[in-house]
Structure 1
């Protein structure tokens, strides 16, 4: 069975109210040796430990020893909302009204804005074999319409599958696109870019979404055939990134024959020398693959567990989600508008395995 332990990871002072809150940490441990730490700040993953083929267990996520570092480096392991990824110029038109969101990524709105949901300390509770976080986002938060109540539930199976379930309800029509932003390296959190390039990826996607120079979708879906994005057969990231525009991925892959709302296979990543394998499943139509292109290029700028530096392309993210900027692409992309009386739901899972 999976065990859950709870302690205090730090103290958070809300910048709006000045009120101080305990940052709670929950440690879920499975029979397989997979261990997951989640914290109330950002309803995020503080760390995941997984065994390799020799029985060695270590962190396969980036993370920090002290809570204060999570405030300094946004999105590390966090739950992302209201809207993961980018919205072009932070603008959209919905039900006859023009909205302007906060701008925090060049000229665009990214991952919920200047104070997205990753920067809140969520309410937390342990329910049976799961940990549940909840947050109330007020009407007008970061420019979005409607008050939204959201929930993130983490469940770890005895076999090492981490399931994350997102839900939200709103008082007014508003775009919602939630995901998790864990930074991963199956070779171990400190193994760096060399290890990242050794990963073998298989992605269930026959199309990807081209983007502009500021990473906003052009509105089309392009075939992966003959491009760096063709990961339908096992391909090392090193081989793929040699052909990738700008030398890295920060793109959404459109899952093949995806039934929205049904948990289905998205991708498989394998690190051959350690034997660690990650399988990702999602109920959403896409998965964003990001290869740590904006991590610092100098050592010592971002220091994680046990004093190890995290640098450029030393990890990857696999973020299951709807397509970016879907609110501005209603004819081409799946709808991402949540309306009163309806429930937004997105389920995803990280299944950690060992290949001898």
Structure 2
């Protein structure tokens, strides 16, 4: 396994006014064909994943950009999301009798850490042995959150063709924390679009899901997937599954059948039979957000990515391990509040293989 480093671009920091070089790290198996992962210090995110198909042909299997400007313009692609992934209703919550108002950035709600979440910051970075380490200090009051939070994201290549991601955070005051990675996948190849996505077979290890309101806030119900379009317990193609769900798109949290929170367990399986590429996702958290790229642009040319490719509606899917959305306001959801005596930890893994 190999790790190399180069400069991906320069970020003009709005806080300091400084020009900050963005570091890019390449983790690879060192073989050809092989697996390659690239991570950048902007958003502590994944900028590229290359996986061979069953004939040995390599292709990019995540949406991405050739330059930093793309990641600045189109939020979340591959990024580490924080301080709190997903939505918090109206950006409001209370802890120990104290009320807080977060920034509002999505239909009257707070999404993915706010107007300038952790995906829009440059993280400190270094390589320690076989691991790339990113860290940043989120100050008290950032986006309305209480407490100074020291966060760390580590990436480590797994020998079998996977990438392990570990999130950790320590806070000086009680605060909600819910971190995840937000890669947009297309195992048919990043340029394959909706046609490629519809060929994917999906399986999610969840008997229940959290129904949502029109603005995608969980209602608080933990509903059975049985008898609904959200029953993904048995393998089914996205092409057959999506017409069965309201709006013909998924953007929902699935409540995993994991036995013990804190242990790395299977969450979801994705398989693209024409290429043989398989992605299995593991997490130590109780939920996973399955998102089918419903808000990607309808028109070609609105979002131009790697190599001039146009990314469009449902041309990718996301599998975001997480705590349940808006858990801070739902007593029946697993707690997302952490404090000085209770550090945050979340481990997840993207594991790739190729079926000949």
Question: How far does residue 106 in structure 1 lie from its aligned partner after superposition?
Answer: 0.8
Tell me what 2:18 maps to: 19
In structure 1, the partner of 2:195 is 194
Structure 1: tracts of 5 or more residues without a match:
none
Could you tell me which residue of structure 2 aligns to residue 148 of structure 1? 149
Q: What is the TM-score when the length of structure 1 is the normalising length?
A: 0.98
Number of the residue aligned with 2:348: 348
Dislocated runs of 4+, deviation >3 Å? none
1:69-120 Cα offsets, whole Å, 9 max, x none, are: 1100000100000000000000001111110000000110000000000000
Name 1:180's counterpart in structure 2.
181
Q: Could you tell me which residue of structure 2 aligns to residue 29 of structure 1?
A: 28
Which SS does the other structure have where 2:90 is aligned? helix
Offset at 1:130?
0.7
8 Å CA contact 1:31, 1:158 repeated in 2: no
Contact 1:203/1:266 (<8 A) preserved: yes
Q: Tell me the distance in 2 between the aligned counterparts of 1:161 and 1:17.
A: 37
| SS of equivalent residue, structure 1 residue 242 | helix
C-alpha distance in structure 2 between counterparts of 1:114 and 1:11, whole Å: 21
Tell me the matched-pair count: 354
Give the alignment of 1:1-356 within 5 angstroms.
Answer: 2-31=1-30, 33-330=34-331, 332-356=332-356
Secondary structure of the corresponding residue to residue 281 of structure 2:
strand
Q: Is the 8 A contact 1:263 1:281 kept in 2?
A: yes
1:183-224 Cα distance to aligned partner (Å, 9 max, x none): 000000000000101100111100010000000000011000
Contact 1:285 1:323 in 2 (8 A): yes
Distance 2:152 2:243 in 1: 39
Contact preservation (8 Å) 1:267, 1:280: yes
Q: Secondary structure at the match of 1:246?
A: helix
- Asked if 2 retains the 8 angstrom alpha-carbon contact of 1:31 and 1:160, the reply is no
The secondary structure found in structure 1 opposite 2:350 is strand
> RMSD of the alignment, in Å?
0.8
**Which ranges in structure 2 are unaligned for 5 or more consecutive residues?**
none
Q: How far 1:256 sits from its partner (Å)?
A: 1.1
